């Protein structure tokens, strides 16, 4: 089938490459000329395991195309995906300007029946707005074309996006249009070989499903972080508690890790956006507001702990930081906990010497060159001459550490671990102080 994807970001590019890999012909449209030029040269704008060979192969074999020409894009596919960003507005609600801009672009160049699939995460009622935006432009053009607007939210996880797209747990489709349903069944047939993963529903339910999924996951994290804070104050070990509750199949082991707060491009903005949606209809979302508040506070825990340890005198200290991205296997720094830590350290007059396997280029882009930030090429180099070590992201390469070396390199033999990577007793045997999350050791 011929498919067009608007927006070549984390979602659009991965989805496009995977659809091409299954044999569809995919045209990717983006307004970013640089991104399009680079992709044509084989330069992939994001780090995502397995994505580079997938893009390269399908581009070379002629199933994946890149353009900034919207007309070419619209006239290419009967199916038109919208996969552009929906960043938070000033008040936290989802900003639909990019989504509606694409809707108007599609209408400007529409030359026949189109199925418009919204993959961006958008508030309930957006499909109606997309429909209305298309109708308005078609009317201005004085033409009529049939079209359907479908909600098809994306559930991929950054860091595992290719695999998630190739083998989705579910494909949620919100539509009441029979013709669209048939075409979408055909589009996703290659994904359904093992078993039917498609869940059809009405548009509004599909739109809410995406928010409900992310808000549930964020709730699990904030819940565990609250338990972790309690454990710490009660002299209990949250890691034991985690295993104790995870063994109940109604709870399960997934996604109940305590840490230094959730970040990324989705959880913070989606929780906020659903709170705003609730506000807009006069419903007070008490639980989700608490989820947000717990997370804000959790992102400050590492700094507070360092500040306490150094008795409020961090000026002139050099802090080694392992891991900067908001989670492992991505270079995404959006809303990362490390940013809250680094910005607080800088404000307190401390320096940061950091290593991250993939995100350092992005960190450089965000913060530029500054005297109090040094990005180094290895985890060991980050330790040299540093006063203490902080772990912000649980990259695999940090899981086994040379504690002798850490002790030797650091001026003060202390680790602040925001991801609970080590066993406290083991670390302490090396003569290091170890402050993890919710493990009974407060300063
Ligand atoms: P992104 O910022 O990485 O990419 C968006 C792309 O859209 C950019 O390349 C931008 O240049 C392009 N764009 C903007 N306006 C355009 C236009 N008018 N025409 C064509 N291209 C345009 O965003 P993302 O992380 O891929 O997220 C996209 C959507 O998917 C968001 O709504 C997000 O909430 C949702 N989502 C993201 C993830 C994730 O893990 N990143 C997962 C599921 C859902």
Query: What was the pLDDT predicted at 354?
Result: 98
Q: For the segment 16-57, what is each residue's pLDDT rounded down to a tens digit?
A: 999 999 999 999 999 999 999 999 999 999 999 999 999 999
pLDDT tens profile 196-250: 999 999 999 999 999 999 999 999 999 999 999 999 999 999 999 999 999 999 9
Average pLDDT over residues 184-194: 93
ipTM higher than the 0.90 cut: yes
Residue 59 CA from chain centroid, whole number: 26
Rounded Cα distance, 108 and 111, in Å: 9
pLDDT given for residue 194 in this prediction = 86
- Taken in order 399, 400, 406, 412, the sign of the CA dihedral is positive
Mutational test site, ligand 1, from 7, 46, 100, 268, max ligand atoms within 8 Å of CB: 7
Q: Radius of gyration of the chain from Cα atoms?
A: 24
Place of tokens 């013709």: 179
What's the token pair of residue 276?
A: 């705003």
**Does 260 participate in catalysis according to the annotation?**
no
Q: Which domains occur in the chain, in start order?
A: 2-201 (3.40.50.720), 211-296 (1.10.1040.10), 300-435 (3.40.50.720)
50 pocket-lining for ligand 1 (C-beta < 6 Å): no
Q: Is 31 in the pocket of ligand 1 (CB under 6 A)?
A: yes
419 CA distance to ligand 1 middle (Å) = 28
Which residue, by CA, sits nearest to atom 29 of ligand 1?
120
CB of 29 sitting under 6 A from ligand 1: yes
Note the pTM of the prediction, 2 decimals: 0.94
Residue 94 CA, ligand 1 centroid: distance in Å? 13
Residue 443's pLDDT is what? 55
Residues 6+ apart with CB under 8 A from 50: 162, 163
- In our burial notation (b when 16+ CB lie closer than 10 A, e otherwise), range 281-313 reads eeeebeebeebbebbeebbbbbbebbbebbeee
pLDDT digits 0-9 by tens, 382-398:
999 999 999 999 999 99
Residue 193 pLDDT grade (very low, low, confident, very high; cuts 50, 70, 90): confident
- Percent of the chain past pLDDT 70, that is, above it, reads 99
In DSSP notation, 2-64 reads EEEEE--SHHHHHHHHHHHHTT-EEEEE-S-HHHHHHHHTT--SS--TTHHHHHHHHHHTTSE
pLDDT recorded at residue 216: 98
Residue minimizing CA distance to atom 41 of ligand 1: 10
Ligand 1 binding pocket includes 120 (Cβ within 6 Å):
yes
- pLDDT at residue number 440: 78
- Cβ 30 under 6 angstroms from ligand 1: yes
Kindly give the distance from the C-alpha atom of residue 220 to the centroid of ligand 1, in angstroms, as a whole number: 25
- The predicted pLDDT at position 79 comes to 98
pLDDT per position as a tens digit, 314-331: 999 999 999 999 999 999
């Amino acid at each position: 089938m011929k498919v067009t994807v608007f927006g070549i970001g984390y979602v659009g590019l991965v989805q496009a490459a995977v659809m091409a890999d299954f044999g569809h012909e995919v045209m990717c449209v983006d307004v970013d000329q640089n991104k399009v030029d680079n992709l044509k040269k084989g330069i992939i704008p994001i780090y995502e395991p397995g994505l580079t060979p997938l893009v390269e192969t399908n581009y070379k074999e002629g199933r994946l195309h890149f353009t900034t020409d919207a007309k070419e894009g619209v006239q290419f596919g009967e199916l038109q995906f919208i996969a552009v960003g929906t960043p938070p507005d000033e008040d936290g609600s989802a900003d639909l300007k990019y989504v509606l801009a694409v809707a108007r672009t599609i209408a400007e160049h529409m030359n026949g029946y189109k199925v418009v699939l919204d993959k961006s995460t958008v508030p309930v009622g957006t499909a109606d707005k997309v429909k209305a935006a298309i109708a308005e432009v078609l009317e201005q053009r004085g033409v009529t074309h049939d079209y359907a607007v479908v909600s098809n939210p994306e559930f991929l996880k950054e860091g595992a996006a290719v695999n998630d797209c190739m083998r989705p747990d579910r494909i949620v489709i919100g539509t009441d249009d029979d013709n669209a349903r048939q075409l979408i069944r055909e589009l996703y047939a290659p994904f359904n070989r093992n078993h039917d993963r498609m869940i059809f529903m009405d548009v509004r339910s599909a739109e809410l499903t995406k928010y409900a999924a992310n808000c549930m996951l964020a709730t699990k994290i904030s819940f565990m972080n609250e338990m972790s804070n309690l454990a710490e104050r009660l002299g209990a070990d949250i890691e034991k508690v985690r295993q104790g509750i995870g063994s109940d199949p109604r709870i399960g082991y997934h996604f109940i890790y305590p840490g230094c707060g959730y970040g990324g491009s989705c959880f913070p903005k989606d929780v906020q956006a659903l709170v705003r949606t609730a506000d807009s209809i006069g419903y007070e979302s008490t639980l989700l507001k608490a989820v947000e508040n717990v997370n804000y506070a959790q992102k400050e825990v590492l700094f507070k702990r360092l500040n306490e340890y150094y008795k409020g005198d961090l000026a002139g200290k050099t802090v080694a930081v392992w891991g900067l991205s908001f989670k492992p296997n991505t270079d995404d720094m959006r809303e990362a906990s490390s940013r809250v830590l680094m910005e607080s350290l800088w404000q307190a007059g401390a320096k940061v010497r950091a290593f991250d396997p993939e995100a350092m280029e992005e960190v450089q882009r965000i913060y530029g060159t500054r005297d109090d930030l040094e990005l180094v090429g290895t985890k060991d180099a980050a330790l040299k001459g540093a006063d203490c070590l902080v772990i912000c992201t649980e990259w695999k390469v940090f899981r086994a550490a040379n504690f002798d070396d850490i002790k030797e390199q650091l001026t003060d033999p202390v680790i602040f671990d925001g991801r609970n990577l080590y066993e406290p007793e083991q670390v302490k045997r090396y003569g290091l102080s170890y402050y993890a999350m919710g493990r009974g050791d407060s300063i």
